[in-house]
Amino acid sequence: MLDTEVYGPWAVIAGGSEGVGAAFADRLAAAGINLVLIARKPGPLEETADRARKHGVEVRTVAADLLDPGTFDAIRRASDDVEVGLLIFNAGANTYGAEFVEGDLEQFQRVIDLNITSQMLLSQYFGARLKKRGKGGIMLVGSLAGYLGQPGIGVYAASKAFGRIFAEGLWLELKPHGVHVLELVLGVTRTPAMERAGLKLDRPGLNVADPEDVAQEGLDHLADGPVWVAGGNLKTAEANSGMARDQIVENHAEAVKRLLGH
Ligand SMILES: NC(=O)c1ccc[n+]([C@@H]2O[C@H](COP(=O)([O-])OP(=O)(O)OC[C@H]3O[C@@H](n4cnc5c(N)ncnc54)[C@H](OP(=O)(O)O)[C@@H]3O)[C@@H](O)[C@H]2O)c1
């Protein structure tokens, strides 16, 4: 049961319109927590907001790109007058895949700007408010991809490795102040973004999670940081962390290519 005294009365979800982000919104609204939802496409954003309002909570939306310079101010305008108990940073699926030496550096930079810079900006802003408040939570949505080098999505994987280590440090810093920090590590999850990217999710043996299940798992384990590997992928995460690093290619490069449909 979600502790609304700790994580309410308001939650901010960066990437709160589709997939796992929408599932967080549904679950939090059902628990009676008001929401500030941020995403680019107004359609799915308003649909998720309307669904949440049916639970009787207040929902504010910010239809903006987290990479645009004015978005931070818009988020502040939408949230400065309310008591925020939870930040979920969910936006961050890979937006650009290419072999590094042939890729476009500006596109790689955008992956870093979203997964690292924007995540840091919101974590600092809301982290400071939560620390002063003396309770609350920050959930950063990470990826199994952040446990080992990946061909074609190397910058994304590295940004997710950053997120996990960043979450561990933040967890150490905020724990004495009553603020729970959790890196929620997802494996392959059936989200609209993945479907649009044309990922081959129906391969036999592939462990594909549903957004509702991993969102619930994350909320259930907010206080069990710094890292929670969702969707039954803990053994994979441990194996990927522990393997001799020169085994990475043999074990995983081909699997990643198959998933990406190459
Ligand atoms: N799906 C998977 O298989 C998988 C696996 C491992 C980890 N993850 C992680 O899980 C999280 C969610 O992934 P996802 O598959 O649902 O895709 P996603 O593209 O990250 O979308 C999630 C939400 O973020 C919003 N969003 C994306 N980019 C944004 C931006 N620049 N500015 C504002 N909002 C933005 C999306 O709405 P708009 O598009 O309308 O902006 C959507 O509401 C990510 O952090 C991803 O790395 C996913």
Could you read off the pLDDT of 210-240 as tens digits, one per residue? 999 999 999 999 999 999 999 999 999 999 9
DSSP 8-state secondary structure symbol assigned to residue 90: -
- Computed from CA positions of residues 44, 185, 213, 1, in that sequence, does the dihedral angle turn out positive or negative? negative
Q: How far is the CA of 16 from the centre of ligand 1 (A)?
A: 9
For 60, the 3-state DSSP assignment is strand
Could you read off the pLDDT of 36-81 as tens digits, one per residue? 999 999 999 999 999 999 999 999 999 999 999 999 999 999 999 9
Q: How much is the pLDDT for 257?
A: 66
Which residue range(s) make up the domain with 56? Answer: 4-259
User: What's the pLDDT band for 195 if we cut at 50, 70, 90?
Assistant: confident
**Taking 80 as the threshold, does the pLDDT of residue 250 lie above it?**
no
Q: How much is the pLDDT for 1?
A: 83
pTM of the model as a whole: 0.96
Does an H or E element contain 129, and which? helix 119-133
How many domains, the chain? Answer: 1
Ligand 1 pocket test, candidate residues 26, 37, 38, 40, most atoms within 8 A of CB: 40
For ligand 1, atom 29: residue with the closest CA: 91
User: What's the pLDDT band for 175 if we cut at 50, 70, 90?
Assistant: very high
Q: In what order do the strands lie in the sheet with 136-143?
A: 59-63, 34-39, 10-14, 84-89, 136-143, 179-186, 227-229
Residues with CB under 6 A from ligand 1: 15-21, 38-41, 44, 65-67, 90-93, 114, 141, 143, 186, 188-189, 191, 193-194
Q: Are 256 and 151 in contact (CB under 8 A)?
A: yes
Could you read off the pLDDT of 104-159 as tens digits, one per residue? 999 999 999 999 999 999 999 999 999 999 999 999 999 999 999 988 999 999 99
**Taking 60 as the threshold, does the pLDDT of residue 251 lie above it?**
no
Task: State the CATH number of the domain containing residue 76.
Answer: 3.40.50.720
**Taking 70 as the threshold, does the pLDDT of residue 197 lie above it?**
yes
